[in-house]
Amino acid sequence: MIEPKEFARRRRQLMRMAGPDAIVVVAAAPERVRNNDAHYPYRQDSDFHYLTGFAEPEAVLALVPGRAAGETILFCRERDPERERWDGPRAGTEGAVARYGFDDAFPIDDVDDILPGLIEGRRRVYYHFGRDTEFDLKLIGWVNRVRALIRQGAKPPHEFVALSHLLHDLRLYKSRAELRLMRHSAKIAAEAHVRAMQATRPGMNEHAVEAELLHAFRRHGAVPSYEPIVGGGANACVLHYRANNALLADGTLLLIDAGAEYQCYASDITRTFPVGGRYSPEQRALYDIVLAAQLAAIDEVRSGRSFDAYHEAAVRTITKGLIRLGLLEGGLERNLREHTYRKFYMHKTGHWLGLDVHDVGDYRVDGEFRVLEPGMVVTVEPGLYIAPDAKGVPAKFRGIGIRIEDDVVVTRSAPDVLSADAPKDADAIEALMAASR
């Protein structure tokens, strides 16, 4: 877990960046109704979690640099034995200070009375506009209350600034504690993928394999970090396939894209394996191209390299392989220049990973791809998708979808693959599946 002192350090760092005349306001995620009086499982807002570690709804964080009475203030629900009997324990204002390290805490019901006074005298308000329309209107109302008192000497803020401008750059660099959680999350997800490989048999339904993933996640106190993709046969060619309800046929491949979320930190792993336990020659030929592309890409996930370098490495390897199989014609450089590979590989090779699966952080700075630095975490996920109706492609290759994805930390030396426990060598996968039978 992450200690309260690390959350406090993050708040101090953000306040230094915001400046002494600013206020930072961050709202907890609202609860969402699924239907009637049933709620979706609650998941805290990632930015709010990053700064507080506080898991409850109905809370607001205010950071007021230089305030003599306390710079870090949390508004939260009060203790309520009757409601806690129904919904579980609450920290309350005393717990917020004692357990979470805030300078002060007030009941959330008092936020309308107190927060305008904290805003008054601040030149800039850092906030996420557009995430929660209801809270946007509340914040504007608090600022307008300060503006209404200008004749009495009140000083309203002159500027609203997107909080993401500061905060998301902080989140891009993972601490040791964060990396420990991400490594554990990846370990759970890797175990889930192994369990799925061992359980898969021809004639099973995709959702039965999905159940094996969910069992492994919940067994270790994790939840899915996104809706799992379990696509057999031609379903693997649908990049965001989510139905997970088709029968698995012998002789086809099964693509599973599934990650775990542990203490709010995500993993993101994809493996593609044969339903019947052995790759056909055509499947193996395509699989080996994707694996070679992934290994070449991972080797580029190094400090000082451009974010785009590992995508370019994957594209070059995939294009070479497609030419070798006769699925692309002409020379390598012409195919690269004309992007002919996009017929079979149409997405980027990865993204940032952290509290969100597609984590925050700019990919370009001043128009140029960002340079990778230690502490950044990316996914590396090349693929090939030969549509069932692909024209000009031999029938033996049609309907095959393959993706291989791992989570990789940028270090000061070699790339650190967090998800290495999930086998991806074709021979190793076949051996694992044979042993399970």
Say which of 83, 158, 242, 358 is annotated catalytic: 358
Answer yes or no: 421 catalytic.
no
Answer yes or no: 103 catalytic.
no
Say which of 381, 406, 407, 430 is annotated catalytic: 381
Answer yes or no: 45 catalytic.
no
Answer yes or no: 100 catalytic.
no
Q: How far is CA 225 from the centre of its chain?
A: 7
Q: Which is it for strands 383-386 and 400-403: parallel, antiparallel or unpaired?
A: antiparallel
Q: Which is it for strands 159-162 and 124-127: parallel, antiparallel or unpaired?
A: parallel
Answer yes or no: 128 catalytic.
no
Answer yes or no: 403 catalytic.
yes
Answer yes or no: 347 catalytic.
yes
Answer yes or no: 358 catalytic.
yes
Say which of 127, 385, 407, 430 is annotated catalytic: 385
Say which of 210, 405, 406, 430 is annotated catalytic: 405
pLDDT at 243: 97
Say which of 34, 85, 240, 337 is annotated catalytic: 240
pLDDT at 423: 98
Say which of 261, 302, 351, 359 is annotated catalytic: 351
Answer yes or no: 37 catalytic.
yes
What b/e string do you get for 352-367 counting C-beta neighbours within 10 Å, with b at 16 or more? bbbbbbebbbeeeeee
**3-state SS of the chain?**
CCCHHHHHHHHHHHHHHHCCCEEEEEECCCCCEEECCEECCCCCCHHHHHHHCCCCCCCEEEECCCCCCCCEEEEECCCCHHHHHHHCCCCHHHHHHHHHCCCEEEEHHHHHHHHHHHHCCCCEEEECCCCCHHHHHHHHHHHHHHHCCHHHCCCCCCEEEECHHHHHHHHHCCCHHHHHHHHHHHHHHHHHHHHHHHHCCCCCEHHHHHHHHHHHHHHCCCEECCCCEEEEHHHHHCCCCCCCCCECCCCCEEEEEECEEECCEECCEEEEEECCCCCCHHHHHHHHHHHHHHHHHHCCCCCCCECCHHHHHHHHHHHHHHHHHCCCCCCHHHHHHHCHHHHCCCCCCCCECCCCCCCCCCCEECCEECECCCCCEEEECCEEEECCCCCCCCHHHCCEEEECEEEEECCCCCCEECCCCCCCCHHHHHHHHHHHC
Question: Six-digit token pair at 96?
Answer: 């917020």
Closest CA to 170 of 49, 27, 17, 41: 17
Say which of 37, 113, 134, 366 is annotated catalytic: 37
pTM over cut 0.85: yes
Answer yes or no: 385 catalytic.
yes
pLDDT of the chain along its 437 residues, tens only?
A: 899 999 999 999 999 999 999 999 999 999 999 998 899 999 999 999 999 999 999 999 999 999 999 999 999 999 999 999 999 999 999 999 999 999 999 999 999 999 999 999 999 999 999 989 999 999 999 999 999 999 988 899 999 999 998 999 999 999 999 999 999 999 999 999 999 999 999 999 999 999 999 999 999 999 999 999 999 999 999 999 999 999 999 999 999 999 999 999 999 999 999 999 999 999 999 999 999 999 999 999 999 999 999 999 999 999 999 999 999 999 999 999 999 999 999 999 999 999 999 999 999 999 999 999 999 999 999 999 999 999 999 999 999 999 999 999 999 999 999 999 999 999 999 999 999 98
Answer yes or no: 265 catalytic.
no
